[in-house]
Every structure is written in structure tokens, then in C-alpha cells.
């Protein structure tokens, strides 16, 4: 089996914290990169993340913390990136070490703004990481449930099945079921789109549309997702698999979903800026909406839900008007 070597978690948010917890179920020691030294100091003193999922205790003797991204890249063969996609480029600016020999796992469910690239494509094009060294982690997996050891199903996508299997088996435990896939691009785009659709679900919730319409929205969303994936990367995939439909459903329905919460605030009349300020957390779907709209200009896929969310967030069209038009297009 492929030797993952040292593993470093790149990021300090809730999903990074949940991934660190999962990894420490399977390995004795991990590295953990955080941008700020004071966050690391507080973490060591408190023995938990000072800002996110603070109830999760860590044995810090099993963690090597670092604020040096170059040290992390040199010392760790496997790098798990969990930074919000809008900040990824900025994090990597200090990087001087070449990454082409590292095994890069992206757990970032977003697109790199300005580049309009999903993260694996970004690492391939900008950092020359070959396909066989690129993996993606997907599936319905709210961090808040993972850290409570609630049953979770994850998919590791990589064109090199041996590497995917090695990482999947490292994550697997009594409460984490894992499987592998070769559909790296499809999983990444699905992860971006489900955040957009969760915003749509939240907007409808804020506008007092009921569960009946929510189910129609989700049914149309998975069809829209499938149309786009078939246009971008036409392989034989099962769209009702948990990494596609499952992730869409949990993000669209759960109160843990920050994208749904963000959308609900928009539906209730908040401006985009005021909703972002009040949430204090990144709703990836806000950035993903604009990126997907730009990308789809090249593919011309029929995507009425994406268009509606874009019009509400970026063209400032009334949610009431836009969603009413959307409902008329559904059957």
C-alpha cells in the first residue's frame, strides 16, 4: 500500500478540526499548519481549537504545530488543504518548496476566485502537481457531526486508486465509512454546486416556502448538477451516490449548513454584506456562485437555479421576484 508519510492538516477552521480528529483515530501523529502563532499558543494551552468546535479535546503531544508552510511541505508527504477557497492563493504565496512530489488532498469545497478553477485544477496548473498526486475529499459530512462521532460517509477521489485507498483507510473508523472514486473533477464541481443550491434552499426558507417546494427544488438541483457534470467531465457516474446527491441533501436541509443559513438571511431581507458580517463564517457558496456563473458561460448548460442565486446575490434582484420566476420553470 502507498505510504502516506507524515500528514499535515492545512487550516484551522471547523472542517480542518474535524479532519484532524478523524486522522488521529488512524495515525499516531499529525502535523497541523495554522497561519497565526497565537492560535497555536492558545490551542496548546487549552488543548482544543480556541475558535472552532471548542468541545473537542486533543492530545497535543500527538500534534506538531507549525506556522511555516515551507516546513510543512518539506516534512510532510501528504498535505490536506482545508482553507476556505477565497484564501487559498494568499496562503500559498509564501510557498517556496515545489509541491509536485507531495500527495495533495483538497478538502476545500469551493473554487479559487479570480482563477475560476476547482482546487485540484489550480494545483495542477499553477503548482504542476500531477494527476496521480491529487486527491479530493467529499461526501455529506458536517464537521459538527463528525466531532460528535456520528456516522459519516466520505469519498476519496484520486486517479491513483492505491493512494486513494491509503488515505481512505487512514480516515476510516467506527463512525467514518470511506470509499474511493476516480471522479476528482466531478466530486469537486458537485461540492461547489451543492453550496449554491443550499443558498437557494435557504432563500426559499427565508421567503417561507415550505417543505413541499424544498423537495422540488432539491430534485431540480440534482438534475441541474448532473447536466453540468456531464457537460464538463462526461464519465459514467451515479449522480444519486452519497458524494453527489447525499452531500447536496445534507447541505440543503441541515441547520448546520452555513450556506443554507446565509441564504435564509438573504430570503428574510438581509443584504449580502450584513448577512456576511452577522455570520462571521465563510459561506463558500457566495463565491462559488459567481465562479460557476463565469465557468458556465463557456459551457452554456441550462442552470436556472444557479442563475437565480446569482441574480439575487450579485445583480441585487429581489429574492421574491427571482424565486417566483424559478418556481414557474419547475414542474
Domain boundaries in the chain?
Answer: 7-182, 186-329
C-alpha cell belonging to residue 282: 465563510
For the domain 186-329, what is the CATH code?
1.10.1040.10
pLDDT value, residue 181: 97
Query: Mind giving me the DSSP string for 82-138?
Result: -S-GGGHHHHHTT--S--TTSEEEE---SEETTTTEEHHHHHHHHH---GGGEEEEE
C-alpha cell at 95: 510557498
How confident is the model at residue 283, as a pLDDT? 83
Q: What's the confidence (pLDDT) of residue 282?
A: 76
Q: What's the rounded Cα separation, in Å, for the pair 97 and 158? A: 23
CB neighbour list of residue 68: distance below 8 Å, 6 or more residues apart: 33
**Fold designation for 7-182:** Rossmann fold (3.40.50)
pLDDT given for residue 103 in this prediction: 98
How many CA atoms lie within 13 Å of 268's alpha carbon, on the beta-carbon side? 12
Residue with cell 508552510: 69
| pTM for this prediction | 0.95
Average pLDDT for runs of 10 along the chain of length 331 = 96 96 97 96 97 95 98 98 91 94 95 92 97 97 94 98 98 97 97 97 97 96 98 95 97 92 96 88 88 96 98 97 95 78
Cβ neighbours for 42, distance < 8 A, ≥ 6 positions apart: 50
pLDDT of residue 114: 85
Amino acid at each position: 500500500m502507498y505510504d502516506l508519510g507524515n500528514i499535515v492538516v492545512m487550516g484551522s477552521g471547523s472542517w480542518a478540526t474535524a479532519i484532524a480528529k478523524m486522522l488521529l483515530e488512524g495515525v499516531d501523529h499529525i502535523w497541523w499548519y495554522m497561519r497565526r502563532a497565537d492560535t497555536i499558543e492558545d490551542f496548546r494551552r487549552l488543548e482544543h481549537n480556541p475558535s472552532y468546535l471548542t468541545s473537542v479535546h486533543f492530545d497535543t503531544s500527538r500534534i506538531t504545530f507549525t506556522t511555516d508552510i515551507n516546513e510543512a511541505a518539506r516534512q510532510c508527504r501528504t498535505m490536506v488543504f482545508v482553507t476556505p477557497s477565497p484564501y487559498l492563493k494568499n496562503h500559498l504565496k509564501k510557498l517556496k518548496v515545489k509541491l509536485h512530489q507531495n500527495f495533495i488532498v483538497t478538502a476545500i469545497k469551493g473554487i479559487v476566485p479570480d482563477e475560476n478553477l476547482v482546487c485540484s485544477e489550480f494545483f495542477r496548473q499553477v503548482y504542476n502537481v500531477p494527476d496521480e498526486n491529487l486527491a479530493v475529499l467529499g461526501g455529506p459530512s458536517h464537521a459538527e457531526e463528525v466531532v460528535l462521532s456520528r456516522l459519516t460517509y466520505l469519498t476519496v477521489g484520486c486517479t491513483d486508486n492505491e493512494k486513494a485507498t491509503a488515505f481512505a483507510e487512514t480516515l476510516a473508523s467506527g463512525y467514518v465509512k470511506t470509499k474511493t472514486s476516480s471522479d476528482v473533477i466531478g466530486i469537486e464541481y458537485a461540492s461547489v454546486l451543492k453550496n449554491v443550491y443550499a443558498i437557494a434552499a435557504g432563500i426559499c426558507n427565508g421567503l417561507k416556502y415550505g417543505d413541499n417546494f424544498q423537495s422540488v427544488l432539491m430534485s431540480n438541483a440534482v438534475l441541474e448538477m448532473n447536466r453540468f457534470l456531464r457537460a464538463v467531465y462526461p464519465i459514467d457516474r451515479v449522480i444519486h451516490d452519497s458524494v453527489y446527491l447525499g452531500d447536496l441533501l445534507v447541505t440543503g436541509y441541515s441547520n448546520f449548513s452555513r450556506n443554507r443559513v446565509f441564504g435564509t438571511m438573504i430570503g428574510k431581507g438581509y443584504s449580502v454584506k450584513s448577512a456576511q458580517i452577522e455570520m462571521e463564517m465563510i459561506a463558500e457558496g457566495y463565491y462559488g456562485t459567481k465562479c460557476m456563473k463565469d465557468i458556465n458561460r463557456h459551457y452554456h448548460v441550462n442552470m436556472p437555479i444557479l442563475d437565480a442565486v446569482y441574480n439575487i446575490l450579485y445583480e441585487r434582484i429581489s429574492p421574491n421576484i427571482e424565486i417566483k420566476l424559478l418556481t414557474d420553470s419547475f414542474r
